[in-house]
Amino acid sequence: MKASIVVVIICLIVQQTNCEKKCHQKCVCNPKVLTCKGFNQDDIEGDEFANSITTDLERIHITDGDIPELPRNLLGSCADDSSYHLNALKKLDLQNNGIKKINGQTLHCVPNLEELNLANNQWNVSTVHTRTFTNVQNLKKLNLSDALHDEIDSKVHIKHLRLVFLESPFTKLEVLALDNNKFSVYDADTANTMCTFTSLKRLNLAHNIIPSLTFYHKRCLTHLEHLDLSYNSISTFKPYSNHNGLLFSLDQIQKASNLSVNFYGNEFNCDCKMQDFHDWLKRTEVHVFKKNSLICHDGLHFNRSIVSLPSAEFVCLSGDSSSNRSSSSAAVGVLVTMFVLLAIFLSVIAYIKRDTIKHFVTSFKRPSMAKSHLLGNYSSVNNENATDIEV
Ligand SMILES: *[C@@H]1O[C@H](CO)[C@@H](O)[C@H](O)[C@H]1NC(C)=O
Ligand SMILES: *[C@@H]1O[C@H](CO)[C@@H](O)[C@H](O)[C@H]1NC(C)=O
Ligand SMILES: *[C@@H]1O[C@H](CO)[C@@H](O)[C@H](O)[C@H]1NC(C)=O
Ligand SMILES: *[C@@H]1O[C@H](CO)[C@@H](O)[C@H](O)[C@H]1NC(C)=O
């Protein structure tokens, strides 16, 4: 009895702090962990949620809801009250909420956030709000797995994401998950953006549709330990001698870091261009996941393990063109040559048979000239047809 009275008295003294605060009905409130499920837009913007947040929280999970737009000052505003900073908050989990829009000042007041999970959303990355992540400079892990809007072209996503990332000095980021996003491009610009993540250790690009990657080994991703490229659209590789190509770059990174790479689930086209990859697989010190299970997807070596084949087996047969583009350009070349040959042939024939042709042409010309006389109304009196037509 005595203890409960003391509690009540303390509550009266500390009024409207922990004792008076009610936990949102869709949340479970613990001193250091707040877990909310099934939130809608009203829930996230309401006072009840705001009251559920305390500065002691270390983790906040708001998942499996329907929140099209993350409001500004999602976790409260520290602009008016400088004592209000969620300094203890390390992890914010916002996965699976159908989030389409993230406002520029959503992530204020959480200066020590280390882990942000935005997986399984429908984010329409906006260039208006490029400063999305600028207040979370200590972020170590960013999960954007299947986070982007399905109906927007992946090239637009990559461009906009790049702008967002370039605004954010993510020098502490160690883990970046970009898997399951239908990404189709990893070009020099993308590589330069990744370059700004100077501490990056794990990059997950699995389950996209990337056909090839440009890397810059000299300055970039020197701490990379794990690169997941499984289930993409890599069918071939740039030559090893291309120093912006993937294979050469991976070897350079390996010199400073213990690197492992996953290529599983790509549909490799085992022609002469794959010889470099085969040779690289045999000699590289990079740890290649399921190395023996990387197989040829089509052609002569269908379903054969790439490392099991002798290097000399990777050939481009004449007529067996290595890619669609080169085969169609070859076809165009053949057609043009044939037309030129045909033209020469016809000119030669025309020259040899010039007298016959001359005769042929003039014999054609006569009636046609007569006709033009008719149409031109030069009707001669002794031409019967002319009168017929004019009637
Ligand atoms: C994405 O956002 C832009 C404005 O930033 C808007 O014009 C566009 O319609 C949105 N796309 C979708 C699919 O919601
Ligand atoms: C990102 O989140 C998804 C969905 O919860 C999870 O499956 C995946 O393992 C996470 N990725 C990382 C790198 O933590
Ligand atoms: C390098 O990484 C691989 C796989 O990630 C691991 O099996 C191996 O023990 C590591 N080697 C060193 C020297 O750390
Ligand atoms: C490919 O080879 C594996 C065994 O090496 C076999 O189990 C599989 O059925 C083969 N696939 C096809 C499509 O032939």
| DSSP labels, 195-248 | HT-TT--EEE--SS----B---TTTS-TT--EEE--SS-------TT-TTSHHH
Report pLDDT digits (tens) over 174-198: 999 999 999 999 999 999 999 999 9
Burial class (CB in 10 A: 0-12, 13-18, 19+), 160: buried
User: Residue 331's pLDDT is what?
Assistant: 59
Distance (Å) from CA 176 to ligand 1 centroid: 25
3-state helix, strand and coil shares in percent for the chain, rounded to the nearest 5:
35, 15, 50
Cβ of 138 less than 6 Å from ligand 1: no
Q: pLDDT of 275-326, one tens digit each? A: 999 999 999 999 999 999 999 998 789 999 999 999 999 998 765 444 444 4
pLDDT of residue 1: 45
State the distance from the centre of ligand 1 to the C-alpha of 149, rounded, in angstroms: 10
Asked if pLDDT for residue 274 goes beyond 60, the answer is yes
Non-local (6+) Cβ contacts of 77 within 8 A are 84, 108, 109
Instruction: Please name the residue whose Cα sits nearest to atom 14 of ligand 2.
Output: 143
What local confidence, expressed as pLDDT, does residue 333 receive? 61
pLDDT digit string, tens, across residues 74-125: 998 887 777 789 999 999 999 999 999 998 888 989 999 999 999 999 999 9
Give the mean pLDDT of 160-165: 91
List pLDDT tens digits, range 204-231.
999 999 999 998 777 789 999 999 999 9
Choose which residue among 287, 288, 290, 291 to substitute to test ligand 3 binding: the one with the highest number of ligand atoms within 8 A of its C-beta. Answer: 287
In percent, how much of the chain has pLDDT > 90? 59
Q: Is the CB of 126 under 6 A from ligand 1?
A: yes
- Judge if the beta carbon of residue 196 lies within 6 A of ligand 3: no
**How far, in Å, from the CA of 307 to the mean position of ligand 3?**
21
